Structure 1
Amino acid sequence: MSDTKVIHSSDTSGHIFSLFLKYVSANVLGMIGFSCYILADTFFIARGIGSDALAALNLVLPAYSLLNGTGLMIGMGGGSRYSLSSTHPEGETHRTVFTQSVLLAVIAAIFFALTGLLGAEPLCLLLGADSRTLPFAVPYIRILLAFAPLFLANNLLVCFVRNDGEPALSMAGMIIGSLSNILLDYLFIYPLNLGMVGAALATATAPLISMGILSTHFLRGNSHFRLMKTKPSLSTASSICSLGVSSLITEVSSGIVILVFNFLLLDLSGNTGVAAYGVLANIALVLIAISTGIAQGIQPIVSSHPGKKGQPVRHQIRCYALLTALLLALLSYAVIFLLADPIADLFNKDQNTALTSIAADGMRIYFTSLFFSGINIVAAVFLSSTDHPKQAFILSLLRGFLLIIPAAFLLAHLFGLTGIWMSLPVTEGIVCIFSLLFLKKV
């Protein structure tokens, strides 16, 4: 593996912008497709099963966020280390980083699978399920976690194929996998009438389709990474995790937000409030995926232009990414603001007017956070890609734990439901100040 595919660009703005478009457009489309895994479940569960099942899905989403975040941590961290070491392709790290990433994924897969098979019911109870939602939550999370090896392997391949110079193939794998999930959701929930089991099976088997697409990278002989015979390395594993931990915390933070909001909403408005938030949370997965796609798109470019020599390219890529994040946030919010009521109705099989009202009002406040979260997500990945994991970790920690939890409890106490919806924009706005300060110093 002495030859390696490094992402080159000339010093002209035109070529840099072309490279930016190539990687970011592919990854934004791919991440939107990937985020539709759960959104498809939300739609078909809401329309085909009912509001209790929708509430159950929202209650178990934090577990899915942790699973997906772990996959992204290993994939993004491994991919970043792979690109950063590409200037020394003969070195031990570059040759073995994929294998070390696979070993990490195997350990994580065993943990998640055992949790799903042996502890699904206690986990659902811990996440807030009650007698109405538990029968829907348990089979869903059990199947999802039991299939953890597929999710983790898919995340790993997506990231490494992207860093190996194939962003379009990475995008194709994510989108086709998501489309297969939508088709399987319809088949399992409607004609086969498998309920929550069918929704879980559709989501859990879709990564197989994605990996089938990604495998062509190896079949065509384009791969510059492969499994190597090597001993587990704690230092390499630590390096991978440190570069990818911001991606983990970004995903886990969404799960933490969902968990905290669910408990607050159960107290304020019961299962109807949780079901309404389920609509917001799953739409948020898609909208946040846009920012994540921008961030993951720039990662291979930024990591492949280290040091002072690569600074002009990194600076331009950062400007393009932040501007794109703001423009897409503006477009997304305009759609949400104008169409909040009909969007909420799409997920309201029982025509519950309270559900529609809570969801629509919540969207218009909650999604003002998009103007800040895009900057924060891009900043965290940019910092990790330039080998500044500590700053990226701080940003992710502020978003995921240190600010959002006290803000949610305080604002809910002061303003009720409105305060819950306000807590995310307030948190993201404060973190945005730190993001801009960190980026200014890099």
Structure 2
Amino acid sequence: MKMENTRQGNRFDSERLIPNYFHLSVPVVMGSIVTIVYNLADTYFIAQTGNALLIAGVSLCAPIFMILMAFGNIFGQGGSSLLSRLLGQRRTEDARRVSAFCFWIALAVGAAVGGALLALRDPFLSLLGSSPDTLPYAREYGTVLLAGAPLIVVNFIHMNLLRCEGMSGFSMAGTVIGAVVNIILDPLLIPGMGAAGAAIATVIGYACSVLFLLAIVLRRSAVLSVRPLLRLELPFLKDVLSIGVTAAITNIATSLCTILVNQKLLVYGDDRIAAMGIVLKVTMIVQMILVGFSFGGVPLFGFLAGAGERQTIRRLLRFCLTFLGALSLTMTLLVCFAAQPLLRLITPDEALVRMGVPMLRWQTAGSVFAGAVMLTTCLCQASGRALPALALSLSRQGIIFVGVLLIASRLFGYQGILASQCTADALSAALAGAILLAERRRDR
């Protein structure tokens, strides 16, 4: 069993299972690390202003990113799952149709979502937790982000689809280019333009990434296409949406949970929201590395599922669970022990650092469970198992988290808010274990 790409010479085969997994996932992780760096750079340059209201206002716009990412993942991860299975079945022309559809529909959806949220800008920002003091900063940042929504959404298409063809390195390069542009522009634009400058730097970075990835598709890809006249059959559309929507629900649920946490923290002051905004950027280090090693394997899981290699999937799954468990435990311990110096690297405000240390430790503690949840979600998505993927998408950053947050905040107040994510991660890992056992029985 193997997959060959005549231009790139890439192969997926059972004899090189683990090397193939790292060949696909390491570039995703490297791209994720670059994403972390430029997110931290944004936060660093904004924090250097010493304006806690500016920090809080920009932090409140984090759900906008998650919403746009959600719509990108509908067609990026949904298309990636279907594309991998089609390549496993040697259906190259169908794969080409799927890739063209995902590109154009993402552009259209990005424009529609950005326009709708711009029309509802101030009420939406108030819903995110903006106070009268932070609303002007959130408005500046959010307006520019929403204007660039089509670019942000479409960025996730070729970033995902190129990995299905074995070109993870180019996918990573696109992320790196966007990040470098952003980092260069941040210190030039933020001092004079504040929140708007940070957002402009971000959108220009995404534009550069999109253009680079598009050039790779046009010049090097043997499978992907952007021809607008390629028709997509209805069953393929349903397949893209069934998996893509479950992937998007994770991002939307994360946004809603962030909004809910901000609403709970608002009672304790804008400075708590500012501290949480910084903490979430630091915890992103752990989360994005786990996401990279989990979702980086989706093309391989999908290819194996399309080729009917059930035993090979089980072997790969056992390795990934062991590897991610050890990795997440190591990173959790490092971040918990180094919480204070990590926060001091980003902000000089000692009050924010003091508030942030317990937040950071609680937010990171559940990562040891989160890896198993992410990997199981990806396996279900890659195999076309929409219902289990949906259940997991609605757990860790959805129904389970919301339930835990509401109960814990009522019983334990501020400390209950901080402990909610860790508790939800543990409960979601138990659900992931139950789903894996059920899937194993089904395959027998």
Alignment deviations for residues 261-285 of structure 1 (CA, whole Å, 9 cap, x no partner): 1111111x21111111111222233
Partner of 1:61: 62
Using the TM superposition, give the Cα deviation of residue 94 of structure 1 relative to its aligned residue in structure 2, in angstroms: 2.4
TM-score (norm 1): 0.92
Equivalent in the alignment of 1:328: 327
Per the TM alignment, residue 233 of structure 1 is displaced from its structure 2 partner at its CA by: 5.0
Counterparts of 1:306-345 in structure 2, within 5 Å, are 306=305, 309-345=308-344
SS in 2 for 1:416: helix
How far apart are the structure 2 equivalents of 1:91 and 1:332?
Answer: 40
Deviations, residues 155-213 of structure 1 (Å, cap 9, x unaligned): 101111111110111111112211221221122113xx111011000111111222343
SS in 2 for 1:182: helix
| DSSP 3-state at the match of 2:230 | coil
- The residue number in structure 2 matching 1:221 is 220
Q: Hey, what does 2:248 align to over in structure 1?
A: 248
- Alpha-carbon offset, residue 397 of structure 1: 0.8
User: Partner amino acid for 2:236?
Assistant: T
**Counterpart for residue 11 of structure 1:** 14
1:21 is matched with 22
Give 3-state SS (helix, strand or coil) of 2:296's partner: helix
CA distance in 1, matches of 2:89, 2:331: 41
> Counterparts of 2:237 and 2:218 in 1: how far apart (Å)?
28
Compared CA separation, residues 134 and 143, structure 1 to 2 (3 A): same
Question: Partners in 2 of 1:77 and 1:59 — Cα distance?
Answer: 28
* Distance of 2:93 and 2:209 partners within structure 1: 30
**CA offsets 1:206-232 (integer angstroms, 9 cap, x no match):** 112223432442354333121342346
Q: Which of 355, 379, 382 is the matching residue for 1:382? A: 379
Supply the RMSD in Å over aligned alpha carbons: 2.2
Kindly provide the amino acid, as one letter, of the partner of residue 328 in structure 1.
L
Please, which moves more after superposition, 366-375 or 96-105?
Answer: 96-105
Contact 1:325-1:374 at 8 Å conserved across structures: yes
Structure 1 residue ranges without an equivalent (≥5): none
Query: What SS class does the counterpart of residue 158 from structure 1 fall into?
Result: helix
Is residue 2:353 matched to residue 1:356?
Answer: yes
The whole-number CA distance in structure 1 between the counterparts of 2:322 and 2:106 is: 34
Q: Is the 8 A contact 1:161 1:169 kept in 2?
A: yes
Residue in 2 that maps onto 1:50: 51
1:23–1:42: structure 2 CA closer, same or farther, 3 Å change rule? same
CA distance in 2, matches of 1:241, 1:49: 44
Q: Distance in 1 between matches of 2:116 and 2:407?
A: 33
Give the stretch that moved more between structures: 67-76 or 247-256: 247-256
- Secondary structure, aligned partner of 1:306: helix
Number of residue pairs the alignment of both structures matches = 433
In the TM superposition, what whole-angstrom CA distance separates every residue of 1:387-409 from its partner, at most 9, and x where no partner exists? 11110110111222211112112
1:11 maps to amino acid: S
The AA in structure 2 aligned to 1:79 is S
Paired residue type of 2:331:
S
State the percentage of identical aligned residues: 24
What residue is the counterpart of 1:400 in the other structure?
397
Residue 78 of structure 1 is matched in structure 2 by 79
Distance 1:100 1:222 in 2: 16
Report the equivalent of 1:41.
42
User: Residues 11 and 166 of structure 2 are in contact (CA less than 8 Å); yes or no, is this contact kept in structure 1?
Assistant: no
TM (normalized to structure 2)? 0.91
Q: Secondary structure at the match of 2:132?
A: coil
- The one-letter code of the counterpart of 2:310 is Q
In structure 2, how many angstroms separate the alpha carbons of the residues matched to 1:111 and 1:221? Answer: 31
**2:222 aligned counterpart, secondary structure:** coil
CA distance in 2, matches of 1:398, 1:316: 26
Q: Return 30-39 or 143-152, whichever deviates more.
A: 30-39
